[in-house]
Amino acid sequence: MPKSSTPSRERIVAGAADMISRRGLSATSIREMAKHAKAPLGSTYHYFPEGKQQLASEAVLYTGDWVARSLRKELEAGPAAGLNAFLALWRKIVVDTDFHAGCPVLAVAIEEPPADDIPPALAAAAEVFEQWEGLLAGSLREHGADDERAAQIATLIVAAVEGTVAMCRAKHSTEPLDRTAAQLQTLIAAAVGG
Amino acid sequence: MPKSSTPSRERIVAGAADMISRRGLSATSIREMAKHAKAPLGSTYHYFPEGKQQLASEAVLYTGDWVARSLRKELEAGPAAGLNAFLALWRKIVVDTDFHAGCPVLAVAIEEPPADDIPPALAAAAEVFEQWEGLLAGSLREHGADDERAAQIATLIVAAVEGTVAMCRAKHSTEPLDRTAAQLQTLIAAAVGG
């Protein structure tokens, strides 16, 4: 049998990330995530015995990692190049899905946890935001920004891009991304003395 | 009977806004929104005969209006004062709810519409973003920013604050708001020649 008939763990995680980015976490069941990834529910539970929160956490961390890989690579050419790659990646997602998908990390971040504790997926979202902020801040520092300013601009970039993707989805337009991009580029240029 | 025993239309709308800001729209039924506002389901359907999308749209527009009222008032003292009021209002919501609530407009914006058309609540979210951006851009222009820069900064402010509120919720911390605030204040000061 061809290998592709066996759903890989990664394919289920990637499918879950896509689905959460479209619909949010609460509105998505593990059954639907399995179906979306064309995986039997049995294999899904086999890979993720702790259920939905485990799969959602891995989907968030998976998104965190592929974005971080792209960021790390592009940041070698400096913070402006890193920002452009970060923007391009989200622009591609909203355009390719006709404004139906966005960021699963944001989706998980804005859903009230069911109980008073912090569920794994929410903790994963916090971790991913930190990861992206850390990469951007590190690059800004390397290019001459002081610690505080680097940290502030890094947080602003992640927050602004996340918020802008949401605005693009509501407006069915990429104009918000064009506007945000222009201002963030100016800000980076000023911070690194460009 | 005291008037407070009759749930007002506005109380149901405000309750729906709060609930959507916590849980998102798809995961919230009209029955739960009625219960959250302590309103009988009958009165809820009486006020909102078109159901959940109608109530959600009104909740989004209600949020838009109260934020716009505060913005309009504070912007009289200039764009920096407007930004501070905008930030303070979202900070109060995340702190008062122990990071459980955020912005219902963002919540509606990032949920995939069930069909191919644009549902009323999503259209309302786009309208509210435009409203806030318009107020901020108008104030920036009045204080000397050119049209393009005013529009870009206004979009960046709305996007960044929305994204930052989500980051605060994930991290259970207001530090992201402190960082974003500092950078947005600097940006406004530069744009208005401060």
Tokens at residue A88, please? 């391009």
Supply the pLDDT for residue B113.
Answer: 81
Region B122-140 average pLDDT: 98
Burial zone of A167 (CB within 10 Å; 0-12 exposed, 13-18 middle, 19+ buried): buried
Tokens at residue A84, please? 């452009």
Does B93 have pLDDT greater than 90? yes
**Stated pTM of the model:** 0.95
Pairwise CA distance, residues B5 & A173, whole Å: 44
- Categorize the per-residue pLDDT at B6 as very low, low, confident or very high, splitting at 50, 70 and 90: low
Region A142-162 average pLDDT: 97
Q: What one-character-per-residue DSSP string does A70-114 give?
A: HHHHHHTT-HHHHHHHHHHHHHHHHHHTTT----HHHHHHTS--S
Which residues 6+ apart lie within 8 Å of A77 measured at CB? none
Region A124-152 average pLDDT: 98
Place of tokens 């061809």: A2
Nearest Cα residue in chain B from A158: B163
pLDDT tens for A53-70 read 999 999 999 999 999 999
- Categorize the per-residue pLDDT at B5 as very low, low, confident or very high, splitting at 50, 70 and 90: low
Angle at the Cα of A143 from the Cα atoms of A138 and A149, rounded to 5 degrees? 65
Does A3 have pLDDT greater than 90? no
Closest CA to A14 of A65, A70, A71, A62: A62
Which site among A21, A23, A32, A156 would you substitute to test the B interface, given the most B Cβ atoms closer than 10 Å to its Cβ? A156
A39: contact with B, CB 8 A cutoff: no
pLDDT tens for A80-115 read 999 999 999 999 999 999 999 999 999 999 998 877
B32: contact with A, CB 8 A cutoff: no
pLDDT tens for B98-111 read 999 999 999 999 99
First to last CA, chain A: 57
Q: Are A116 and A53 in contact (CB under 8 A)?
A: no
Quick one: fold of A60-191?
Tetracycline Repressor; domain 2 (1.10.357)
B176: contact with A, CB 8 A cutoff: yes
Question: What residues of chain A lie within 8 A of the CB of B126, using their CB?
Answer: 170-172
Closest CA to A19 of B112, B109, B108, B122: B112
Q: How many CA atoms lie within 13 A of A38 on its CB side?
A: 5
Supply the pLDDT for residue A115.
Answer: 72
Supply the pLDDT for residue A6.
Answer: 61
Supply the pLDDT for residue A126.
Answer: 98
Judged by CB atoms closer than 8 Å, whether chains meet at B111 and A27 is answered as yes
Pairwise CA distance, residues A93 & A166, whole Å: 12
Report the gap between the CA of A128 and the closest CA in chain B (Å).
10
Supply the pLDDT for residue A117.
Answer: 81
Region A13-35 average pLDDT: 94
Secondary structure of chain A in HEC code, one letter for each residue: CCHHHCCCHHHHHHHHHHHHHHHCCCCCCHHHHHHHCCCCHHHHHHHCCCCHHHHHHHHHHHHHHHHHHHHHHHHCCCHHHHHHHHHHHHHHHHHHCCCCCCCHHHHHHCCCCCCCCCCHHHHHHHHHHHHHHHHHHHHHHHCCCCHHHHHHHHHHHHHHHHHHHHHHHHHCCCHHHHHHHHHHHHHHHHHCCC
Tokens at residue B141, please? 């222009």
Supply the pLDDT for residue A5.
Answer: 53
Residue B96, helix vs strand vs coil = helix
Please tell me the least confidently modeled range out of A16-30, A108-122, B39-53, B158-172: A108-122
Q: Are A86 and A157 in contact (CB under 8 A)?
A: yes
Judged by CB atoms closer than 8 Å, whether chains meet at A126 and B170 is answered as yes
Pairwise CA distance, residues A135 & A81, whole Å: 13
Pairwise CA distance, residues B85 & B67, whole Å: 9
Name the residue ranges covered by the structural domains of chain B: 3-191
Report the gap between the CA of B161 and the closest CA in chain A (Å).
7
Q: Which amino acid would we find at residue A41?
A: L
Does B3 have pLDDT greater than 70? no
> Who among B112, B167, B169 is closest to A158 (CB)?
B167
Q: State CA A136 to chain mean position distance.
A: 14
Please tell me the least confidently modeled range out of B39-53, B110-124, B180-194: B110-124
Quick one: fold of B3-191?
Tetracycline Repressor; domain 2 (1.10.357)
Does A136 have pLDDT greater than 70? yes
Residues 134-153 of A with CB under 8 A from B: 151-153
Does B1 have pLDDT greater than 70? no
